[in-house]
């Protein structure tokens, strides 16, 4: 089709009519009405959501005199990191005056074992429920899922008694156990559904190849389940890090997680309200889930199982 003139008689005196010379990719207008509407709306909405974050960052970088002037949207005239240092290391909650750092390390000590333990157990649960249907597995699964719908408040006090009897009430161990148990329904569902989607023939092939329960789990299923593990880690890290209720109920002040400590710093009523310190402390607490989102977003690898079935 090198010569458009052969396509039709519409070429008059060398001035080609557009329709008859059309060729290649269809042209697209970037500034169409539709695009302006679409991107305009998107920009307005994102500004709306970003504004509070902007205010927090800006306020945390100001000194108290500047904050008192009341221009909350104005960028800081003089940037100071002192509120951040204070929030991390000096802010007082009750008798302790070592800031959020104590709570941060407590939260790490709670989150890491809880995440590892809950995911390890739930993935094996899900794998067993998906591939090794045993008698009563359906009933077991239903009961487990039912657990996800019972409000936490109902179970708060019974668990206090349970932990007391076990001798772990008020300790980090107790809180880790609570988090692991409460993560179980949703995580098991997550893993079970993922493992059910793995082609059954893969599982059969591994059985013919002589792999047992753990052999298939570790050598076949686990390497294929990376995407769902990332999802589970995101869920658990953010969920457990942001938890306030269990932290405040099942621990003592010296092992309070970061969220509880943040609350105590922000709500302490002695002296002046240090808005800049509060803002800095809040950002610091939210930083961990935020980082997890940014890093792991790229790890959502899709189609890892693509080679197993016809692709």
Partner 1 sequence: MASIVVKDLTLTYGSVNVLDKLNIDVAEGEFIVLLGPSGCGKSTLLNCIAGLLDITDGQIWIKGKNVTWEEPKDRGIGMVFQSYALYPQMSVRGNLSFGLKNAGLPRDEIDKRIARAAKILQIEPLLDRKPAALSGGQRQRVAIGRALVRDVDVFLFDEPLSNLDAKLRSELRVEIKRLHANLENTMVYVTHDQIEALTLADRIAVMRGGVIQQLADPKTIYNKPANLFVAGFIGSPAMTMLPGRVENGAGEATFVVGAERIPLAGYDGGGTGATGRDAILGVRPEHVAIRTGDAPGVPATVDIDEPMGSDSLVWLRLPNGQTISVRTSAEHGFKPGQPVRLAADISKASLFDRETEQRL
By CB under 8 A, name the binding residues for partner 1: 199, 201-202, 204-211, 215, 219-220, 223-224, 304-311
C-beta closer to partner 1: residue 16 or 305: 305
Rounded Cα distance, 92 and 254, in Å: 13
CB of 199 to partner 1, least distance (A): 5
CA distances to 93, 127, 211, 307 from 218, rounded to whole Å, are 46, 11, 10, 18
Nearer to partner 1 by Cβ, of 69 and 304: the residue is 304
Three-state DSSP at 195 gives helix
Q: Please state the closest distance from residue 194 (CB atom) to partner 1, in A.
A: 14
C-alpha to C-alpha distance for 142 and 180, rounded to whole angstroms: 19
Residue closer to partner 1 by CB (options 219, 273) is: 219
Smallest distance, Å, CB 34 to partner 1?
38
The label of the residue with tokens 């988090």 reads 179
CA distances from 41 to 3, 38, 51 (A): 44, 5, 16
**Nearest distance, CB of residue 251 and partner 1, angstroms:** 41
107 versus 131: smaller Cβ distance to partner 1: 131
Minimum gap (Å) between residue 198 Cβ and partner 1: 10
Supply the DSSP string of 46-69, one letter for each residue.
HHHHHHHHHHHHHHHTS-HHHHHT
On whether the CB atoms of residues 295 and 141 are closer than 8 A, the answer is no
CA atoms within 13 A on the CB side of 284: 30
Q: What is d(CA 10, CA 7) in angstroms, rounded to the nearest whole number?
A: 9
Q: Of 16 and 211, which CB lies nearer to partner 1 in the complex structure?
A: 211
Shortest distance (Å) from residue 202 CB to partner 1: 5
Q: Give the residue with the Cβ less far from partner 1, 98 or 201.
A: 201
């Amino acid at each position: 089709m090198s010569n458009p003139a052969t396509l039709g008689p519409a070429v008059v005196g060398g001035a080609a009519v557009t329709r008859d010379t059309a060729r290649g990719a269809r042209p697209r207008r970037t500034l169409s009405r539709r695009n302006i509407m679409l991107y305009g709306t998107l920009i307005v909405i994102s500004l709306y959501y970003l504004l509070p974050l902007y205010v927090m960052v800006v306020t945390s970088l100001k000194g108290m005199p500047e904050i008192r002037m009341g221009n909350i949207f104005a960028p800081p005239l003089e940037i100071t990191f002192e509120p951040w240092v204070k929030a991390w290391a000096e802010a007082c909650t009750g008798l302790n005056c070592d800031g959020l750092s104590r709570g941060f390390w407590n939260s790490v000590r709670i989150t890491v074992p809880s995440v590892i333990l809950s995911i390890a157990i739930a993935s094996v649960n899900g794998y067993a429920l998906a591939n090794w249907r045993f008698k009563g597995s359906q009933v077991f699964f239903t009961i487990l899922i039912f657990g996800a719908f019972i409000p936490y408040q109902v179970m708060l006090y019974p668990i206090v008694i349970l932990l007391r009897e076990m001798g772990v009430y008020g300790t980090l161990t107790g809180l880790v156990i609570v988090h692991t148990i409460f993560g179980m329904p949703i995580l098991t569902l997550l893993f079970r559904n993922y493992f059910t989607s793995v082609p059954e023939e893969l599982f059969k092939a591994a059985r013919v190849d002589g792999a047992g329960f753990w052999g298939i789990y570790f050598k076949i299923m686990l390497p294929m389940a990376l995407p769902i593990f990332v999802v589970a880690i995101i869920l658990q890290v953010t969920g457990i890090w942001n938890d306030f209720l269990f932290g405040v109920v099942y621990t003592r002040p010296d092992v309070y997680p970061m969220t509880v400590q943040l609350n105590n710093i922000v709500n302490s009523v002695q002296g002046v309200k240090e808005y800049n310190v509060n803002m800095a402390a809040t950002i610091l607490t939210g930083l961990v889930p935020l980082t997890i989102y940014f890093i792991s977003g790229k790890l959502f690898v899709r189609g890892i199982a693509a080679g197993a079935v016809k692709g």
